[in-house]
Amino acid sequence: MLVDTHAHLDSEQYDGDREAVIARAKAAGVGAIVTVGVDLASSRAAVALAQQHAGVYATVGIHPHDAAGVKADDLDELERLCAEPCVVAIGEIGLDFYRNWSPSEKQREVFLAQLNLARQLDKPVVIHDRDAHGEILATLKDQADGLRGVLHCFSGDLAMASEALEMGFYVSLAGPVTFRNARELQDLVRQLPLDGLLVETDCPFLAPHPHRGKRNEPAYVRLVAEQIGALKELPLQEVAEVTTHNAAQLFGLGAMT
């Protein structure tokens, strides 16, 4: 059994066949899907989907792209959503200095506010990091007390991954690890301990090879796990067992441990 620890099932790309997408994931051995909020609307949608489907869990959070418009009562609503039993984390939160769709200072403010909320509610965090490796790591070190979580779709180096693992965070791998030109990422995977890894799709984005460039879906998380097994010379079953255990530990999915 596998866990897709980062999906966006609320995406309009699934409006025509969402039920079939979830059914295909189950048929492919995906026992749980964590569907991720990036703003209030998608957070509400994630909760609704998790309430409607067994094996689907939700996170709620505000992505750095959407930080500019955040008001104080938005954080109050996130806190209310976190009271729902299906909500297993706060995320997707973090910093994105590649797009810079929100001013950097506002991104930092909203990121810190959500880290504080996670600490208060004892929820793990799902971290988005793009072109902000140094500041993400420094912020997590500064805020580490009482925090746990995952660096989603990891794109940093071995030093960053090692520091994150040392702080008790997980590193999550997605479709790019299967890309033929992703040699640096593949070398990194060979060096990372399996007990620090999660697998994800980030669907509908970043479809793994051989589906690259097409719509991604949770069933394809198996391809990510297979690639990790190939790189680490481990059977798929072992990769599935350990990464599922890791996901269960982080997100409190008790029946899977």
Cβ atoms of residues 197 and 172 within 8 Å: yes
Q: Spell out the residues 6+ positions from residue 13 whose beta carbon is closer than 8 angstroms to its own.
A: 204, 215
The DSSP code for 203 is B
Strand order in 56-60's β-sheet?
2-7, 30-36, 56-60, 87-96, 125-130, 149-151, 170-173, 197-199
Indicate the pLDDT class of residue 76, thresholds 50, 70 and 90.
very high
Tell whether the torsion through CA atoms of 128, 130, 132 and 133 is positive or negative: positive
CA distance 67 to 169: 23
Q: Which two three-digit tokens encode residue 114?
A: 């959500």
CA distance 88 to 248: 10
Overall pTM surpassing 0.95 (yes/no) = yes
pLDDT of residue 100: 83
Residues 160-209 have pLDDT tens digits of 999 999 999 999 999 999 999 999 999 999 999 999 999 999 999 999 99
CA distance 66 to 239: 35
CA distance 43 to 120: 19
- In the chain, what is the straight-line distance between the N-terminal and C-terminal CA atoms, in Å? 11
pLDDT of residue 203: 98
How far from the centroid of its chain's Cα atoms is residue 64's Cα?
14
Indicate the pLDDT class of residue 257, thresholds 50, 70 and 90.
very low
Residues 219-228 have pLDDT tens digits of 999 999 999 9
Output the CA angle 15-16-21, nearest 5 degrees: 85
CA distances from 102 to 44, 68, 75, 110, 162 (A): 22, 5, 17, 10, 29
pLDDT at 63 over 80: yes
Tell whether the torsion through CA atoms of 156, 250, 32 and 112 is positive or negative: negative
Residues 83-106 have pLDDT tens digits of 999 999 999 999 999 988 999 999
Residue 84: how many other CB atoms lie within 10 Å: 15
CATH class in words for 2-256: alpha beta
Q: Which two three-digit tokens encode residue 95?
A: 């910093």
Residue spans per domain, the chain: 2-256
CA distance 160 to 64: 20
CA distance 250 to 70: 27
| Burial bucket for residue 77 (CB in 10 Å: 0-12, 13-18, 19+) | middle
Residues 117-149 have pLDDT tens digits of 999 999 999 999 999 999 999 999 999 888 999
CA distance 10 to 79: 20
